[in-house]
Chains A and B, each alone.
Chain A
């Protein structure tokens, strides 16, 4: 069976080489000290930083598609979310706003927040809404950089429930997380990033 996400000999002058294969519904949880290269790895898969090597989706190499098309299928959600409009809803295409409202509600966010300005959001609310922006694309792969770091336990459970549903639907998720329990709860394969190399744990 072809892997949903296959990463082969991915490297840059700063990190790698990396190998990773995820079947549909599989999740890799990466832990490791800050500066070890976790975010670099996700950015390289998303092709946001210069790199060589191959990444493929269901057997189609990313080189065969335009970069924006690839990133739409494997969106990267940074640990610090960036915003480019005033209102939250404007960050989601009009046709996907209804789905966005539903997802926001599932993540425990009041409806007013989705319609309101970005300025008024807390760090945790921004983080969850940044995740919503990626989820509405219905991507087969998700690259998530510490999606639950600034959240309270109740919100963490809600985010994990949404992620579990996506995994069940066949998405592959690469997740940076410092919580070994989170990897276990999501049934994720644990990895450790050390000195810019990725190693399976346990």
Chain B
């Protein structure tokens, strides 16, 4: 591979564009220059830190170090999913739910890729494992939080309709079936859009990165296609697990609607 290495001067030229944004903000009084500069600074620090950590972990090639990085990334994703919906669970229920969903969706899809399609040696080689987990987690986060938010918002809004069904002898499953479908459908929207737009409206990030790094476009495309399939699977699993898990925690052994388990 013949990647063109970037020098600090190259990055400085790029940074002048951020300075242009800041200048624009000052001139047009957008009151955004602090935020733009802060966000750009933060991005640089975060990425450089991640770069050093990944270099160290890649060099170690130790399963424990790989696992630690994967766990930290998953924990952050789980926290984001639990914290995003407008209506949230009381106590640790939400976090437990999102942690379980993230773990299952990620392990199943990344595991499938590492053990069948990509097959690095050893299979937990951090260069593949951590990168795949990172990409998959993005979709897990997106699908899971959309699905959970739709379900929790919908069940609060439609309380009267759901309880009316329960009061006439419907099972909790029947009374919430439509809401469950709606939540999972919402969770799957981003990946469907992503797949339809791929190559036409957007050049997906991984493919672009590999092409920039000197890989043959067709090889890069094959990788991207596999990744899209992984993301589709991860999105579906994540949306399903969040919506279904949340529903289970909103009912009890007498099939009541337990909105008291949500925060006010």
Distance A69 CA – B161 CA, assembled complex (angstroms)? 19
Is B166 part of the binding interface, using a Cβ–Cβ cutoff of 8 Å?
yes
Q: What are the interface flags for A119-143 relative to B under an 8 Å C-beta threshold, 1 for contact and 0 otherwise?
A: 0000000000010011001000000
User: B164 to A130, Cβ gap below 8 A?
Assistant: yes
Is A16 part of the binding interface, using a Cβ–Cβ cutoff of 8 Å?
no
Which residues 41-94 of A sit at the B interface, judged by CB distance below 8 A? 46-50, 66-69, 71-73, 75-78, 80-84
Contacts A50-B256, A78-B160 given; indicate if A137 touches B169 (C-beta within 8 A): yes
User: A48 to B162, Cβ gap below 8 A?
Assistant: no
User: B167 to A75, Cβ gap below 8 A?
Assistant: yes
Distance A160 CA – B256 CA, assembled complex (angstroms)? 30
Distance A77 CA – B167 CA, assembled complex (angstroms)? 7
Is B255 part of the binding interface, using a Cβ–Cβ cutoff of 8 Å?
yes
Ranked nearest first, the 3 interchain pairs of A and B with the lowest CB-CB distance are A72-B169, A82-B164, A82-B160
Interface centre among B164, B171, B252, B257 (most CB of A within 10 A): B164
Chain B contact patch, size range: 20 to 34
User: B170 to A82, Cβ gap below 8 A?
Assistant: no
User: B168 to A75, Cβ gap below 8 A?
Assistant: yes
User: B256 to A68, Cβ gap below 8 A?
Assistant: no
User: B168 to A72, Cβ gap below 8 A?
Assistant: yes
Contacts A78-B160, A84-B158 given; indicate if A67 touches B168 (C-beta within 8 A): no
User: A84 to B165, Cβ gap below 8 A?
Assistant: yes
User: B169 to A69, Cβ gap below 8 A?
Assistant: yes
- Which chain A positions have C-beta within 8 A of B170? 68
Contacts A72-B168, A134-B168 given; indicate if A67 touches B255 (C-beta within 8 A): yes
User: A83 to B161, Cβ gap below 8 A?
Assistant: yes
Contact with B164, one of A66, A72, A73, A81 (Cβ below 8 angstroms): A81
User: A47 to B254, Cβ gap below 8 A?
Assistant: yes
Q: What are the interface flags for A16-56 relative to B under an 8 Å C-beta threshold, 1 for contact and 0 otherwise?
A: 00000000000000000000000000000011111000000
Is B163 part of the binding interface, using a Cβ–Cβ cutoff of 8 Å?
yes
Is B178 part of the binding interface, using a Cβ–Cβ cutoff of 8 Å?
yes
New A-B pairs, 5, CB < 8 Å, besides A50-B258, A83-B164, A84-B175: A48-B166, A72-B168, A75-B169, A78-B164, A84-B165
Least CB separation from B170: chain A residue: A68
- Which chain B positions have C-beta within 8 A of A137? 168-169
- Which chain A positions have C-beta within 8 A of B256? 47-50, 67
- Which chain A positions have C-beta within 8 A of B168? 71-72, 75, 133-134, 137
